[in-house]
């Protein structure tokens, strides 16, 4: 992992020491269960419970054997003396590797879950604070109709809720281990031992394993992490766009000693949101690799192994980093409601075009004629300093059909935003936040 994007909470169990500690945890649980079932001496299990390893020794053994699990078990066995012959007794490598990987994935996902919960609270805060802060909505990058900034943040909140549900589903997927032997058929150790070991570790037996836990579980986890990353990019891209000089409605927090450019002192760039965008692309690339790992030859091959050493730690570490960084952005987000109001005013009321169109249609005017009339007035408003409401009120073709009272209703901004409260009630924000 690149340490630049690895936060302390994640670093430990994806390190080499963390990996070997998780393997040793499984080996100890197996030895304890084997002793309880009379398969190995209790004295051996007690010795293995005190077993240690030395990374330098494992590295030296691996150079000889070209097999990391054998190198690990040799180091562990060496630390317990004569009882070492019972280390890894009846097991195959992936009984240990995959079961330990499940434990590490669960720990990583739970850290992300906690961080995602904190991020959700920031989305909720913005949604509640700016529930009635009007701004122009945009489609294709062009002014459309008014929304509130709160609605935009509410959309982020709802997606974060969905991603929390997906993440919890992925955690459940990963709560499986296997102590079922070389091809998953328990030829040396029976299902009763597996059940006992996994119960101690807080896992469930994989219903039908091969020599490995089926890789659709890991692919699902990566897919969920990819969705989360894509959701973060959606938020980041929106902030980046709204921070553009020409719009300037939002801004990333900018520290008092921060510098935006080595050459241009005036710059405040959305660098964190750009970083989130960049990392999101990487995480989504891991998803495709995870899918490729599902079809293995027969009961197993190693075509998944090398890339999983990269993509699984990297995906969890990066998504956790992105979650924390996006939380910081939202916590310090600069929301310029005055600029939002100014941009709304600069639209010249053209966002009322649909309301005017429908009002004319309701008088009996055919839709195409009404559309052409409103389009002409809207384009004229954009090319002049006179807004659409004023042009419509001065147009005889309009006033012949709509009186002053009807036009006032058409050009009432509150009319366009009257359903905001209904949308909030539908999400149940306060209860869920």
Cβ-proximal residues to 174 (8 Å cutoff; 6+ apart), any chain? 102, 105, 106, 109, 217, 218, 221
DSSP 8-state code for residue 419:
T
Burial (0-12, 13-18, 19+ Cβ within 10 Å), 230: middle
Do residues 267 and 260 make contact, with C-beta atoms less than 8 angstroms apart? yes
Interatomic CA distance for residues 423 and 155, integer angstroms: 10
CA-to-CA dists, residue 248 to 97, 112, 135, 243, 245, angstroms? 51, 31, 12, 5, 5
Do residues 120 and 159 make contact, with C-beta atoms less than 8 angstroms apart? no
Q: Is 51 helix (H, G, I), strand (E, B) or coil?
A: coil
> Catalytic pick from 56, 140, 256, 298?
140
Using N-to-C axis directions, what is the helix angle for 55-65 and 16-36, rounded to 10°? 90
Nearest to 157 by CA among 433, 417, 386: 433
Interatomic CA distance for residues 323 and 168, integer angstroms: 16
- What the block records as the tokens of 247 is 């719009």
The reply to whether 314 belongs to the active site is: no
Nearest to 373 by CA among 397, 393, 390: 397
> Catalytic pick from 261, 278, 369, 384?
261
Interatomic CA distance for residues 133 and 146, integer angstroms: 10
Q: Is 176 helix (H, G, I), strand (E, B) or coil?
A: strand
The reply to whether 256 belongs to the active site is: no
Query: What is the helix (H) or strand (E) element at residue 343, kind and residue range?
Result: helix 337-346
The catalytic residue positions are 140, 261
């Amino acid at each position: 992992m690149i340490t630049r994007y690895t936060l302390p909470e994640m670093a430990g169990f994806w390190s080499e020491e963390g990996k070997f500690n998780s393997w040793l945890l499984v080996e100890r649980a197996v030895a304890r269960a084997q002793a309880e079932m009379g398969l190995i001496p209790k004295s051996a299990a007690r010795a293995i419970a005190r077993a240690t390893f030395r990374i330098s020794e494992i590295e030296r053994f691996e150079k000889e054997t070209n097999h990391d699990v054998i190198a690990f078990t040799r180091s562990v066995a060496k630390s317990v003396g004569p009882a070492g012959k019972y280390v890894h007794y009846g097991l195959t490598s992936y009984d240990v590797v995959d079961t330990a990987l499940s434990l590490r994935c669960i720990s990583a996902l739970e850290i992300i879950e906690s961080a995602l919960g904190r991020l959700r609270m920031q989305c909720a805060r913005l949604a509640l604070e700016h529930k009635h802060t009007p701004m122009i909505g945009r489609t294709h990058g062009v002014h459309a109709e008014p929304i509130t900034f709160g609605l935009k943040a509410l959309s982020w909140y709802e997606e974060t809720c969905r991603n929390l549900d997906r993440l919890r589903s992925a955690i459940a997927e990963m709560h499986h281990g296997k102590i079922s032997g070389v091809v998953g058929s328990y030829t040396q150790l029976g299902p009763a031992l597996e059940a006992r070991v996994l119960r101690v570790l807080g896992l469930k037996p994989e219903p039908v394993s091969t020599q490995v836990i089926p890789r659709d579980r890991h692919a699902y986890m990566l897919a969920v992490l990819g969705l989360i990353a894509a959701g973060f990019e959606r938020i980041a891209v929106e902030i980046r766009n709204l921070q553009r000089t020409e719009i300037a409605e939002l801004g990333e927090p900018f520290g008092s000693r921060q510098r935006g450019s080595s050459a241009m002192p005036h710059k405040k760039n959305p660098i964190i949101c750009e970083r989130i965008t960049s990392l999101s692309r990487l995480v989504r690339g891991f998803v495709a690799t995870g899918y490729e790992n599902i079809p293995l030859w027969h009961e197993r091959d190693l075509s998944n192994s090398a890339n999983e050493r990269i993509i699984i730690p990297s995906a969890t570490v990066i998504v956790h980093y992105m979650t924390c960084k996006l939380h910081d952005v939202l916590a310090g987000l600069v929301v310029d409601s005055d600029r939002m109001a100014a941009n709304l005013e600069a639209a010249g009321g053209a966002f009322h075009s649909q309301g005017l169109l429908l009002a004319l249609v309701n008088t009996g005017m055919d839709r195409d004629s009404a559309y052409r009339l409103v389009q002409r007035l809207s384009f004229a408003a954009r090319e002049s300093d006179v807004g659409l409401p004023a042009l419509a009120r001065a147009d005889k073709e309009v006033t012949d059909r709509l009186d002053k009272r009807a036009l006032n209703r058409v050009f009432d901004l509150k009319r366009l935003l009257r359903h905001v409260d209904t949308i909030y009630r539908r999400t149940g924000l306060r209860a869920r936040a």
